[in-house]
Structure 1
Amino acid sequence: MHIPHIPVLYNETLEAFNDITQGFIIDCTLGYGGHSEGLLKQNSQIKLIANDQDDEALAFSKKRLEAFKERVLFNKGNFEHVLEQFKDFEVRGILADIGVSSLQLDKQERGFGFESDTLDMRMNQNQTLDANFVVNTYTQADLERIFKEYGEVREYKKVASLIVNNRPFTTAKELSDFLLKKMHKGKIHPATLPFQAIRIEVNDELGVLERLFESIEALKPKNCIVAIISFHSLEDRIVKNCFKKWTKSCICAPTAYRCECGNNHALGKVITKKPIIPNKEEIKNNPRSRSSKLRIFKFD
């Protein structure tokens, strides 16, 4: 079968879970099953919970992982809820690859790419909020907010003003061509960061990631490896700060005269002092991997 997606940091991700010899690994973002297939091949003892909110991804991966069906539980849903659903299982590994898959990007009808003939960007096609609604109905102030916060767009006010004064836009191609014509052309396409911001808003990507961490912290899974692959600085900052918080032994207020909390609240340790990034060969073979970062935490 044709594999439409190259999993990023593949060997590094498998290595993160190499010592797990029992229990379940949850692949929170199954996608097209690349990481999951590797994990199942690597260790014949582990079982896998394969989660995704995209019907197309689930259908593809069920075929791809057919040889391991006795060891795989498929689950449709947003990954922010998956830990709650499987809290009674022996969870020894949690993997989340927080990127848009290549198939979603490449399929023009999904509306993620600059050449798309729709303006959609929904990872879950059952939800109502889409890019068309954001672009064509949000106030200028709301567009400024998302471009500034989610896209870190330098000229966020100008981009928002241009869109509001020239809408409606009916396709991603129409919007990207418009921004290419109106905005300064730097190293990257001028629509790159505005598109990132719209996609994050449509899918509530940062909120979902924060709630995933809240659910992991609530579960406090014993002897569990958590590996998160992120693709831009906003996501990576959330991952880094959360892992740092989990290592804190003292949780007293900074103003406390002395420690009164017992100084025993560390949940585990960070395995990656610095994020693991792809090597030159991987970037050459898969240019979309260039911004990926892998951070790993181990619960005691």
Structure 2
Amino acid sequence: MKIPHIPVLLEQVLESFNTDLAQRGGVLVDCTLGFGGHSEALLKAYPKLKIIGIDQDKNAIHFSLSRLKDFGERFESRFGRYSEVLGQLLRQDEMRQNLVGILADIGVSSLQFDDRERGFCFDSEQLDMRMNQERILDAKEIVNHYSLSQLEQIFRDFGEIREYKKLARLIVDSRKVQKFTSSKMLSDLIAKHFKHPKIHPATLAFQALRIAVNDELGELERLLYEIRENPLPDGARLSIISFHSLEDRLVKLAFKEWEKKCICDDGTMLCTCGNNHQKGKNLYKKPLCATESEVRTNPRSRSAKLRCFEFNRENK
């Protein structure tokens, strides 16, 4: 089988789950299955481990089921948004107690990015960007019909674009003449009016639209909420790979909150909460990043960051 994807931070992911729990067996949930690269490596590294892979892209599930068929009952897939499927799993007491880890590789996968029919890349003749093609909202709807203020908010909040007002106005004025029909049409327009010394001028705009179409930050927030409400067993770990500061900030703040023993208001003079609310510990003071050799082999890994949290009931 031809494998068209290199999973990012693979060695770091394997090390983040190198625990007695994983060695003995149990269940690990791969929230973002994609091509199955991380899942395959984990199944090989930990022979007693079972993995449940989640994806909202049926093409990804079909590919991974074929790729991982030799692992038999050690692998199973679930279709849907990872926050919803994981939430269902975590509310099953027996399942939650058997969990040894959760992995989430946030963002668009190479499966989607490299498929020109999906509209994620700059030269695509489509303007789509849906990870789940059964959903209604796509990038074409946003670009052609969202108001000026809505576009400004998307480019400001999700793309962190300095000239977000200029970009939104450019799109609104241009669509009065001709509606946008392709990603290429949009990226060509942006490249004509904006410059960037290191990346394609449309990179941040496409990032912002993709996040808006797929509600990526909302999905990550819901994932963290489900885990906060249903903490994992002793020694179980949560590893999250993010690709830009917005995602990483959410993970960092969540881990910081989960490490707190006291949850009283900052202005409280005397602790009244019991001082026993710590869910575990953040394993890495700084996120793990790709090595120089990995970046040379897989340039998309250059912005990847991995954070890992280990749960410990004794600290609660």
TM over 0.5: yes
Deviations 1:44-78 (A, max 9, x none): 11111111110110000001101112111210011
Aligned equivalent of 1:81: 84
For 2:130, which of 98, 102, 122 is the aligned residue?
122
d(CA) in 1 for partners of 2:144 and 2:8?
Answer: 34
The answer as to whether partners of 2:103 and 2:240 remain within 8 angstroms in 1 is yes
How far apart are the structure 2 equivalents of 1:25 and 1:134? 36
Report the TM-score when normalising by structure 2.
Answer: 0.94
RMSD over equivalenced CA pairs, Å: 0.8
Other-structure match for 1:6 = 6
Deviation per residue, 1:100-129 (Å, 9 max, x gap):
111211111100000000000000000000
In structure 1, distance between residues paired with 2:105 and 2:294:
16
Q: Which residue of 1 aligns with 2:36?
A: 33
Shift in Å at residue 189 of structure 1? Answer: 1.5
Letter in 1 for 2:57: D
2:170 corresponding residue in structure 1: 162
Q: Which runs of 5+ in 2 are unaligned?
A: none
Partner-residue secondary structure (3-state), 1:259: coil
CA distance in 2, matches of 1:100, 1:161: 27
Give structure 1 stretches of 5+ with no counterpart: none
- Of 145, 151, 160 in structure 2, the residue corresponding to residue 137 of structure 1 is 145
Name 1:44's counterpart in structure 2: 47
Judge conservation of contact 1:249–1:265 (CA < 8 Å) in 2: yes
Residue aligned with 1:128, SS: coil
- Tell me, yes or no, if the aligned pair for 2:30 and 2:52 is still in contact at 8 Å: yes
Amino acid at match of 2:210: R
1:252-274 Cα shifts (integer Å, max 9, x gaps): 01111111101010000000110
Q: Once superposed, which parts of structure 1, at least 4 consecutive aligned residues long, lie more than 6 Å away?
A: none
Amino acid at match of 1:81: E
Aligned to 1:269: 281
Matches within 5 A, 1:1-300: 1-19=1-19, 20=22, 21-87=24-90, 88=92, 89=95, 90-167=98-175, 168-223=179-234, 224-300=236-312
Residues 86-113 of structure 1, C-alpha deviations (whole Å, 9 max, x = no match)? 1221211000000211121111110000
User: What CA distance in whole angstroms lies between the structure 2 residues aligned with 1:86 and 1:270?
Assistant: 23
SS in 1 for 2:101: strand
Report the Cα offset of residue 35 of structure 1: 0.4
Is residue 249–residue 264 contact of structure 1 (8 Å, CA) maintained in 2? Answer: yes
| Amino acid paired to 1:234 | L
TM-score w.r.t. the length of structure 1 is 0.98
Give the secondary structure class of the aligned counterpart of 1:175.
helix
Q: Report the count of equivalent residues.
A: 300
Per-residue CA deviations over 1:261-296 (Å, capped at 9, x if unaligned) read 010100000001100000000000000110000000
Give the percent of matched residue pairs that are identical in Structure 1 and Structure 2. 54
Contact 1:18–1:42 under 8 Å retained in 2: no
Distance in 1 of aligned mates of 2:144 and 2:117: 18
CA contact (8 A) 2:107 2:216 kept: no
**Alpha-carbon contact 2:261-2:277 (below 8 Å) kept:** yes
Structure with greater proportional helix content: 2
Tell whether the 8 Å contact from 1:80 to 1:208 is kept in structure 2 after alignment: yes
